[in-house]
Structure 1
Amino acid sequence: MRLPTLILPVLKLYLVGLKVLLYQLFNKSFTVPVFPKQNGRVAIVTGGAKGMGYETARHLTSLGMHVVIAGNSEEEGLAAVQKIREENKKGKVEFQFLDLASLKSIHQFVQTFKGRGLPLHVLINNAGVMLVPESQTEDGFELHLGLNYLGHFLLTNLLLDALKRSGSHDSCTRIITVSSATHYVGVLNLQDLQSRSCYSAHGAYAQSKLALVLFSYYLQQKLTSKGFPVMVNVVDPGMVNTDLYKNLCTPAQLIKRPVAWLLFRTPAEGASTAIYAAASPAMEGVGGCYLYNGRRTQSSTTSYDEDLQAQLWRQSCALVGLPVGDWSAN
């Protein structure tokens, strides 16, 4: 019984990957249009020191945004800041330490950020891990769930008041969360979110990406019902040639190298849809969307299940220590 349970998530994930690669073979990558300057707007980009996060931070800085790169490596973060500043002498970009695998670190990050009195117009939940061996966060959560999902869930909730205050009905603030096509085969097991009964790195990763979509849709619904000028969208970057794939098994790594060179998107191409969601005038006042290759598209059927969204929200609040009640009063 255990073997099929372990193999099925692997097969599903690789089939999704194959479908994405076929799309990328026959379709050009979305190109970021020229956007108006965004002077005075402040953005936080998690995982902004490398890969797609770096390209996102770099582009938003070039548009005049004040960008805070949030990451768990000070060395990488400061190097990214220096590189962006060398390219854009007048750019406002900085690094602030954030470990999404630690609830304590998330609280400290938010406290420090709020203590500076800055507004917040854009939050990009970009950081993530994929196919890591079975391990836990500082707080005992399965790592994919804890870092990819619960860390961003808590961070977003703690920053909601700043986002609400910084927005207006003619200039909404924006939350952009990076998911992936793997969410289509994700199975959310509310009785075993920690994947303790039978661990599969592939299944745990897909579940975390599905959870991000469910959470984003539910949050948008609640914000809209209260009339807050905050828009929440999910982006799917496609298959991008970053070190996210470093935990692939050796045979898969050997296959991946030539395939990635031919068919994977570059980090800049992968970041293009997140940049679009963060800065495009066409996305003003638009929320609750799943964006792929610069276009709105349908996410999985499961992701639109409002009962599942609400159940996940309640359970997530309990796990990270947030009240389930009137969060909108933050």
Structure 2
Amino acid sequence: MWLLSVLLPLLKLYLCGVKVLLYQAFNRSFTLPVLPRQDGRVAMVTGGTRGMGYETAKHLAKLGMHVVIGNKREEGAAVVQRIQKEDSQGEVEFVFVDLTSLKSVRQFAQTFQNRGLPLHVLVNNAGTMMVPEGQTKDGFEIHFGLNYLGHFLLTNLLLDTLKRSGQPGRCSRIVNMSSATHYAGEMHMDDLNRGICYSSHGAYAQSKLALVLFTYHLQEQLTAGGFPVTVSAVDPGMVDTALYDNLWSIAQVLKKPVAKILFRTPAEGASISVYAAAASEMEGVGGCYLYNGHRKQSSDTSYDSELQAELWKKSCELVGLQEA
């Protein structure tokens, strides 16, 4: 029973990976259309110091946005300087936030709000993948806590600012970085910390499914309230970033030659986040799952409205928010 609980998520996840690689082998990476200027608009990108987060922040700054990079990495200042040298036409800054700490997330959000800036784009990009079993500073399983729960809290703390910043015909936008692995995900509502028969593969897939469920439920609330804010979940495909450093040794060996041929580059992976954040075609479009530049059907589980509501309620309890 224990072996099955560990092996089944692993097999599901790697099967998802094979399907994605086959798609990428026969389909070109999405090419961004010409995007409108974003002068005067403010964006926040978590995990923006490397990989797809860096590429997203760089591209939004190139469009003229004031970009706030939220991360806990020490290279933040150096990254800001690099982006500013690379044809940045907007202001770029780094602000410390540790998404594994709810206290840090609250401080980060409060510091931003105290400045009185608007917020037009929030890209929830930071994440980790298949790391050994561990907990956040608040005792949550690391994938669930970092990939999902930290972003759930951050989004809710900044939601009023996003609502005020949007307007009809120029909505504020929230972009949640999910993954094809969400298709293999299962929500263990009675064991979100995966304390029973832990599987890093299952925990990662669960966190990415949670982000899609969150996307749909939040969009439903925003639409019902008539607020000018849209929420999208994006899938970058398989991208050659440091996230894959935690694969098993044999998988690491196999991954290197495959990545050179079939994986997307970080810039290609980031193109879908940038598209969701800035494309004219995405104006007013929310509650969708985007892959390779197209709206795509997410997993059947992700459309379960009762599960969406249950996860929302539970998440509010876990982070100490009053349910809206």
The TM-score with structure 2 as length reference comes to: 0.99
Runs of 4+, deviation exceeding 6 Å: none
Determine helix, strand or coil for the equivalent of 2:316.
helix
Asked if 1:257 is matched to 2:249, the reply is no
1:15 aligns with 15
2:205 aligns with 206
Cα distance, 1:249 vs. partner? 1.1
Cα distance, 1:88 vs. partner? 2.4
Asked if 1:42 is matched to 2:38, the reply is no
Determine helix, strand or coil for the equivalent of 1:24.
helix
Identity %: 67
2:107 aligns with 108
Q: Which amino acid aligns with 1:304?
A: Y
Give the conservation status (yes or no) of the 8 Å contact 2:61–2:88. Answer: no
Asked if 1:292 is matched to 2:291, the reply is yes
1:32 aligns with 32
Distance 2:122 2:254 in 1: 35
What CA deviation, in whole Å up to 9, does each residue of 1:308-328 have, x standing for no partner? 00000000000000011x3xx
Cα distance, 1:90 vs. partner? 4.1
1:197 aligns with 196
Q: Which amino acid aligns with 1:44?
A: M
Distance 2:88 2:230 in 1: 31
Determine helix, strand or coil for the equivalent of 1:235.
strand
Asked if 1:156 is matched to 2:155, the reply is yes
Distance 2:121 2:88 in 1: 22
Q: Which amino acid aligns with 1:158?
A: L
The Cα RMSD (Å) is 0.7
Cα distance, 1:295 vs. partner? 0.4
Equivalent residues, number: 324
Q: Which amino acid aligns with 1:29?
A: S
Give the conservation status (yes or no) of the 8 Å contact 2:176–2:233. Answer: yes
Cα distance, 1:61 vs. partner? 0.2
Distance 1:182 1:87 in 2: 33
Distance 1:72 1:33 in 2: 32
What CA deviation, in whole Å up to 9, does each residue of 1:54-113 have, x standing for no partner? 00000000000000011011x221121110111126431000001100000000000110
What CA deviation, in whole Å up to 9, does each residue of 1:18-53 have, x standing for no partner? 000000000000011111110000000000000000
What CA deviation, in whole Å up to 9, does each residue of 1:231-277 have, x standing for no partner? 00000000000000111111110000000001000000000111000
1:69 aligns with 69
Structure 2: stretches of 5+ with no match in the other structure: none
2:116 aligns with 117
1:1-330 equivalences in 2 (<5 Å): 1-73=1-73, 75-88=74-87, 90-324=89-323, 326=324
Q: Which amino acid aligns with 2:50?
A: K
Q: Which amino acid aligns with 1:284?
A: E
Distance 1:12 1:277 in 2: 28
Q: Which amino acid aligns with 1:66?
A: H
Determine helix, strand or coil for the equivalent of 2:61.
helix
